[in-house]
Structure 1
Amino acid sequence: MILIDTNVISEPLKPAPYAAVLTWLDAQAIETLFISAISIAERRFGIASMPRGKRQMILHGRLEDEVLPIFEKRILPFNVGTSQFYANLMASGRASGKVIGKADRYTAATAAEHDLAVATRDASPFEAAGLRVINPWATWTFKITGLEFEPHQSVG
């Protein structure tokens, strides 16, 4: 089960999305993917902040008419239960000197509450929160050394 971060939600909406992200999304069982209400707020803010015009209208339509209906039953709220995970993550981060941005704090707490991995391009805040992170921008290749295969991660 995976919580997809705002940057993963946004990537397919770009004019030229990164192919590895599309491939990764296509390979996932849709029922295993979740989004947070926080990511929806971030995306809506990004669209509302754009200059008015065709691109803004297209992105608004794609988010509201394509993305949200797909995730209708898998949008996770930030609620009173999530607030306890938030408090624990923030206290732990403060004690260890790890700083996490505001939206990422809420997203991390949501993932922690539901025991979800986080799919994101920006792994560091979620790793700092102790969460399992998946980077859909990363591609894995293998090289042969002797008779062994060695995985090498490259990021686009």
Structure 2
Amino acid sequence: MIILDTNVVSEITKANLSPNVGEWFEQQDIESLYLCSPILMELSYGAEKVLLRDRSERFFEGLGYLMEHQFAGRILQFDQDSALLTGRIRARRERFGHQISVQDAMIAAVCLAHGATLATRNIKDFQGLDIRLVNPFEDGHA
């Protein structure tokens, strides 16, 4: 199970996506790829910004397609266990001087709660959290 971070979802919806991401995505079993509700929150935020700026609903339409078709049945929810893990992650990171955004802590918690790998460009934001990470943007996808 691989949860796609917002930056990966944004990339795979582009017409001119990164060759590395395109190759990585093609190699995956689509049924093993998931989204989670904090990712939907971030995508909705971006779509609303575009709507307010350009009066364009194109990103909301794309988000609807992702939820209803491409990832239907494969969206993990931020639940009670994830909420408790989020608090622990944030407190532990702060104690060691490593800040983490609430959104990233939520995503990390969902990954931990489900034993999922996180596909993200922002590897350093999630290091040290006992989450398997993959960067589809890099050669070799390390």
> Counterparts of 1:58 and 1:22 in 2: how far apart (Å)?
22
Secondary structure (helix, strand or coil) at the match of 2:72 reads coil
Q: Give the aligned partner of residue 54 of structure 2.
A: 52
Give the drift of 1:25. 1.1
Q: State the structure with bigger RCO (CA 8 A, min sep 6), 1 or 2.
A: 2
Kept after mapping to 2: 8 A contact 1:77/1:110 = yes
Identical aligned pairs, as a percentage? 27
More helix per residue: 2
Match of 2:111, as an amino acid?
A: A
> Counterparts of 1:130 and 1:92 in 2: how far apart (Å)?
13
Give the drift of 1:29. 0.7
RMSD over aligned CA atoms reads 1.8
Unaligned regions of 5+ residues in structure 2, if any? none
Q: Which ranges of 4 or more aligned residues in structure 1 deviate by more than 4 Å?
A: none
More strand per residue: 1
Kept after mapping to 2: 8 A contact 1:5/1:119 = yes
Unaligned regions of 5+ residues in structure 1, if any? 141-152
Q: What TM-score results when the alignment is normalised by the length of structure 2?
A: 0.88
Q: Give the aligned partner of residue 91 of structure 2.
A: 91
Give the drift of 1:97. 1.8
Give the drift of 1:34. 1.1
Residues 2-28 of structure 1, C-alpha deviation per residue, up to 9 Å, x if partnerless?
111001111122242112112111111
User: Greater Rg, structure 1 or structure 2?
Assistant: 1
* 1:59-138 equivalences in 2 (<5 Å): 59-65=59-65, 67-68=66-67, 69-138=69-138
Secondary structure (helix, strand or coil) at the match of 1:118 reads strand
